[in-house]
A and B are shown apart, each in its own frame.
Chain A
Amino acid sequence: MTIYNLYVFDRNGTCLYYESWNRRKESNMSKDEEFKLMYGMLYSIKSFVARMSPSESKDGFLNYRTSKYKLHFYETPTGLKFIMNTDLSVGTTRDVLFNIYSKIYVEYVVKNPLCRLDEPIQSELFASKLDTYIRSLNIFN
């Protein structure tokens, strides 16, 4: 099992944070372009899933998988979006993404008054806490 990369988007589509661990192939476009493409796709999938659902669903879009990887999605009620790509053997990661939000983002970004909430995260403390957390997960190896 392994984790490839992680994106954090705010409610306006700004990519607040990106980090990759075991990504072997780059998308051969600029990071900015890639973030826009990713956000646009998520936006469309969300609306697609909501419209196509045959009944009211509480959670909406959770993940998708291809033959090579699985994309996990978690959105907070405030519109923050956490996206993690892993290999196919990883099960649900809702707890993991929620922990990244509640234990790392809220603690080291929201509670740091010097971190603006609508700009990419510069905090090194956040980056190192996140890295430590991701590496400690048993789905990382």
Chain B
Amino acid sequence: MSRQSAVRADNRKVSAELFVLTHGALVAQLVKDYESDEEVNKQLDKMGYNIGVRLVEDFLARSNVGRCHDFRETADVIAKLGFKMFLGFSPVITNWSAASDEFSLILDNNPMAEFAELPEGHEGLLFSNILCGVLRGALEMVQMEVDVWFVQDALRGDETTEIRLKFIRKLEDALPAGED
């Protein structure tokens, strides 16, 4: 158990570049492995989902935030605490729908795409699509079903990078399995 004995300080930081380059290598490999950009996007989303369901526990353990009571509060926590903690920047929350069940995150300085450039013929690739999966997975664990998708991506020549979140429904607590 000695490998654990070196006290692991909270808020360990690794170089953002290490992460960004690793993510870039992952995307590059997926582009090689799959025929279509669509499929790469899907794989990234799936990986993100699997990360999100675990990441949310780390987030809650470190931030000690409680349950959110509405979607606006959720948006604040995501942008100001979640993104800050894991990616070191806070996206801007904007474009609320009238019913307060949809909003956009504007990622102007998305660090994940810092060194990226879409190669020719991959105009459909969503380079940071892993983020959509992460958000979806994390929110599902706190009983919120949401749709998450890229509306704009600066890498694809759009003005900015915009992720849209739409609240679908609240997932109910599981009932204990009946025996009788």
Contacts and interface: CB of A to CB of B under 8 A. Distances in A.
B57 interface: yes
Given A13-B176, A43-B175, A111 B67 contact: no
B143 A79 contact: yes
Contact of A76 (B53, B54, B60, B177): B60
B158 interface: no
Contacts of B62: 102
A78 B56 contact: yes
B175 to A, nearest CB: 7
Interface string B54-87: 1011101110111100000000000000000000
A51 to B, nearest CB: 14
Interface in A104-141: 105-107, 110-111, 117, 125, 128-129
A62 B163 CA distance: 38
Contacts of A13: 174, 176-177
A111 B58 contact: yes
A82 interface: no
A110 B54 contact: yes
A54 interface: no
Interface in A1-30: 11-13
List the 3 closest A-B pairs by CB distance, nearest first. A102-B61, A106-B61, A40-B176
Given A79-B143, A110-B57, A117-B53, 9 more contacts: A12-B174, A36-B179, A78-B57, A79-B173, A106-B58, A111-B58, A117-B54, A125-B1, A129-B4
20 contacts: A36-B176, A43-B173, A43-B175, A76-B57, A77-B60, A77-B65, A77-B66, A78-B141, A78-B142, A79-B173, A101-B61, A102-B60, A102-B62, A102-B64, A106-B58, A106-B61, A110-B54, A111-B54, A111-B58, A117-B53
Interface of A: 11-13, 36, 39-40, 43, 58, 76-80, 98, 101-103, 105-107, 110-111, 117, 125, 128-129
Interface of B: 1, 4, 8, 53-54, 56-58, 60-62, 64-67, 141-143, 173-177, 179
